[in-house]
Amino acid sequence: MKKHFLLGMFLGFCLAVIMPDPLLSVNSYNNTNVLKHIYVTQLVAPLPQSTKVKETPIMERGQLQYSVYLEDPTVLIRGYIQIWDLADLENYLVNSKRISTFDFHSYSLKPIKVANDNGYLTEWTASFGESYRISGVEYWLRKPATTEVLRISFLTDITPFSKEQIDYIDKVINSII
């Protein structure tokens, strides 16, 4: 019996060592989706039950390290919570806009601070093709003293964002510890 216990402990330890530890994990707590992320301390994003969360595996990591897709059909909002490796965040954002296939009707890039993290907020409205219009709000927050960047983006086909969507966004962003 003692041998089996020790073997189980050893196998559990081996699995813990070789299994990749995700930066983001999705858990359920009291019928509410909760997204947790080890980012400086922890990001806890309480999400309504109607929010669908899908982790997207990144096979070949380049600048994008990790990605989770969010979609809430009740408030007509979708988005991403991602980890990026970006040495020059501002330059990356300026170049991304420049090479984008979107036809921007409005675009702003401004410095922000959320919790203890500095970064940028991009807010934009754009067309993609003749009949498709989209609005976006993206928070890009740099982990201090690293090249690691947390991106929290929200997208909608409703322009501008509705009051309900803004409340949803504020709830997620204000949950950052």
pTM for the complete prediction?
0.75
Give one word for 40, left, alpha or beta, with left for phi > 0 and alpha for psi -120 to 50. Answer: left
* Per-residue confidence in pLDDT tens, the chain, 177 aa: 434 333 333 333 332 332 333 334 443 333 344 454 444 345 567 788 888 988 888 888 789 988 889 999 999 999 999 989 999 999 999 999 999 888 899 999 999 998 888 999 999 999 877 778 899 999 999 988 899 999 999 999 988 899 999 999 998 888 776
Rounded CA separation 152/169 (Å): 9
Q: Quick one: which of 111, 103, 170, 107 has its CA closest to 130?
A: 103
